[in-house]
Amino acid sequence: MGSTFVSIETAVRALRANQIALQVTGQNIANADTPGYSRQIAVMAATDPYSYPGLARSATAGQIGTGVEVTQILRMRDSFIDAQIQGESSLKGEWEKRQQTLEFLEVVFNEPSDSSLSTRINQFWDSLQELANRSDDSSVRSAVRENAVVMIESIQQIYQQLVDLQKDLDYQLSVMVGQVNTIATQIANLNDVIGKVQGSGQVPNDLLDQREQLVQELSEMVNISVTTDQNGRYNILIGGSILVAGNYASTLTTKPNLENQGLQDVVWAGNGTKTVITGGKLRGLLAMRDEDVQHYVDSINAFASTLIREFNAVHQSGYGLENSTNKRFFSGTDASDIGIDPEIMASLNNIAASVNVSTDPLYPGGAPGNGENALKLAQVISQSKLMNGGTATLSQFYNELIAKLGVDAEKANTTYENQEALISYLKERQENVAGVSLDEELANMIKYSNAYNAASRYLTTMDELLDRLIQGTGVVGR
């Protein structure tokens, strides 16, 4: 038969186990609204019973239990859902940057509006039409020049805003690379502590939550793949190269690419090789900077350079009011430097609205103000197939560019919203597993509190029994 004092130890173990369970419950309640916190539960198991069978031990009716203990504090988390969230967060981060940038591009072009470039083009075209009818009217000629100036200002403004946007995206890229490095270092430091704690036989639940939160932030910024080593530490790769391995973190940096206008490439600081980025906000920034925004820069340059070249060619073949000829209307080469030729700015008479009347059989008497060349100039904008390999006019080319922007922006907005909805759903599923229910915790608190009180009463009872046994039996020594 076991010692009576075994019952005291059983009660103490019950007190200790339920006290730990209450502490875990209190931790859950305290962190009910903490982002990234995972609900914890105290897993209890019966301790080894008394006594073990043996040849030297007498037979008994059965083994007597010795109490309870908390074998582990379990972190409730679905790692599969975490992996899904990481992958979808990378895609969400990419489309978030695309959506934000395309939204800004829509503001840059500001279509349709009374101050948009398409409106300015139409006003310039209308004034050329009017010039064809009243080619000797100085007020009409002035309107042509002023509308051209306003159109040029719109072209230059759009071009400059696109260039500034590229530079801003380039700056955001370098800032985000610094954020990636900071998070990678934090994860490596947590890896170090987590490895040591788990090596001691304990489970660092709160540290695991902190690390998971950082990994989710990192996955929004860049495409990552995550594995776990035997010590519970994360190894994180970007494009097959190591970002974090145990307590070591590699460093990303940026380097100007002279073949890409000096814009930054993301490279590994250790060897200078280009980082393979296929997702996350970094991918969104790179794609918008080097592909989408560059496409609009190239398109507005193509529009401006074609307008300058073709409009000037027609203008140089025409005649002004004083029989001036071979004069350019536009100066510059593309959207960066397009302007009005100084001779046009100096005299409205130099606007070549007329054809060469000395050789045109339709005007045998000669008429420098006949306006035929003004119609040809208007046709350069609205009728001549000068763009997209001879399939679109300048007006059509610009309208198609704006239509593409609208489609791209709508696609980016829809995809981003879909990703947000998907991640919200995944987080809701994770919340069902890892989230804290205050009702459930209050029920647990009552359960563990009653169990603690019962163990206390049991301990008091055993104390009274022992007191009666010691004080009320035997006479030796009295």
Q: How confident is the model at residue 29 (pLDDT cuts 50, 70, 90)?
A: very high
Q: Kindly tell me if the per-residue pLDDT of 231 is higher than 90.
A: no
Q: Long-range contacts: 448-454, Cβ < 8 Å, 24+?
A: 448/18, 448/21, 448/22, 448/25, 449/18, 449/22, 451/14, 451/18, 451/21, 452/14, 452/15, 452/18, 452/19, 452/22, 454/14
Residue-averaged pLDDT of the chain: 90
> In sequence order, which residues have a C-beta less than 8 Å from that of residue 71 and are 6 or more positions away?
43, 44, 45
Residues 251-291 have pLDDT tens digits of 999 999 998 889 999 999 988 899 999 999 999 999 999 99
Q: How confident is the model at residue 201 (pLDDT cuts 50, 70, 90)?
A: confident
Residues 111-127 have pLDDT tens digits of 888 889 999 999 999 99
**How many CB atoms neighbour CB 56 within 10 A?**
4
Q: What is the pLDDT of residue 370?
A: 75
Q: What is the pLDDT of residue 470?
A: 79
CA distance 478 to 471: 11
Element (H, E) at 94: helix 79-109
Is-contact 242 114, C-beta < 8 A? no
DSSP assignment of 18-35 equals: HHHHHHHHHHHHHTTT-T
Read off the pTM. Answer: 0.85
Q: What is the pLDDT of residue 463?
A: 83
Element (H, E) at 281: helix 280-287
- What mean pLDDT do residues 46-54 have? 73
CA-CA distances (angstroms) from residue 128 to 16, 316, 415? 93, 16, 44
Q: How confident is the model at residue 322 (pLDDT cuts 50, 70, 90)?
A: confident
Q: Which of residues 313 and 59 earns the better pLDDT score?
A: 313
Q: Kindly tell me if the per-residue pLDDT of 472 is higher than 80.
A: no
Residue 37 tokens read as 């916190």
Residue whose C-alpha is closest to residue 401's, from 260, 298, 250: 298
Q: What percent of the chain has pLDDT over 90?
A: 73
Q: What is the pLDDT of residue 335?
A: 95
Q: What is the pLDDT of residue 324?
A: 82
CA distance 165 to 72: 54
Residue whose C-alpha is closest to residue 399's, from 108, 109, 105: 109
Q: Directed axis angle between helix 372-382 and helix 293-317, to 10°?
A: 160
Among the ranges given (63-67, 361-365, 370-374, 403-407), the one the predictor scored with the smallest mean pLDDT: 361-365
Q: Kindly tell me if the per-residue pLDDT of 56 is higher than 70.
A: no
Q: What is the pLDDT of residue 434?
A: 92
Is-contact 86 224, C-beta < 8 A? yes
Residues 137-168 have pLDDT tens digits of 889 999 999 999 999 999 999 999 999 999 99
